[in-house]
């Protein structure tokens, strides 16, 4: 049996390492613009979060995404993240 290496990333809510596929990526483009990256392929610096509202709320409270990406995250991004999580 082949063992494939699964890329792991840390959730900004619960701070646990999870397979990249199970997380949502928030990306800051080289121009400094934030977006939600569902393909995992957008260029730029990324922060990750589990697909659950609890982790999102934690990340909002601790402002960990802001710190991680060294930018401010507007309400709009959080709202869209929440929608993505709920619609999953």
Residues making contact with Zn ion (CB under 5 A): 11, 13-14, 50, 55
Task: Kindly state the smallest distance separating residue 50's Cβ from Zn ion, in Å.
Answer: 3
Q: Residue 19: name the closest of 54, 43, 48 by CA.
A: 48
Task: Kindly state the smallest distance separating residue 20's Cβ from Zn ion, in Å.
Answer: 13
Q: Which is nearer to Zn ion, 12 or 27 (CB)?
A: 12
Q: Which is nearer to Zn ion, 26 or 50 (CB)?
A: 50
List strand residue ranges (DSSP E) for the chain, in order.
8-10, 17-19, 23-28, 34-37, 45-50
């Amino acid at each position: 049996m082949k063992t494939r290496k699964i890329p792991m990333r840390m959730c900004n809510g619960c701070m646990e390492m999870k397979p990249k596929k199970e997380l949502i990526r928030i990306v800051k483009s080289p121009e400094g613009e934030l977006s939600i990256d569902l393909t995992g392929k957008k260029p730029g610096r990324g922060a990750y979060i589990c697909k659950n509202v609890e982790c999102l709320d934690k990340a909002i409270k601790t402002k960990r995404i802001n710190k991680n990406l060294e930018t401010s995250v507007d309400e709009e991004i959080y709202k869209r993240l929440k929608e993505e999580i709920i619609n999953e």
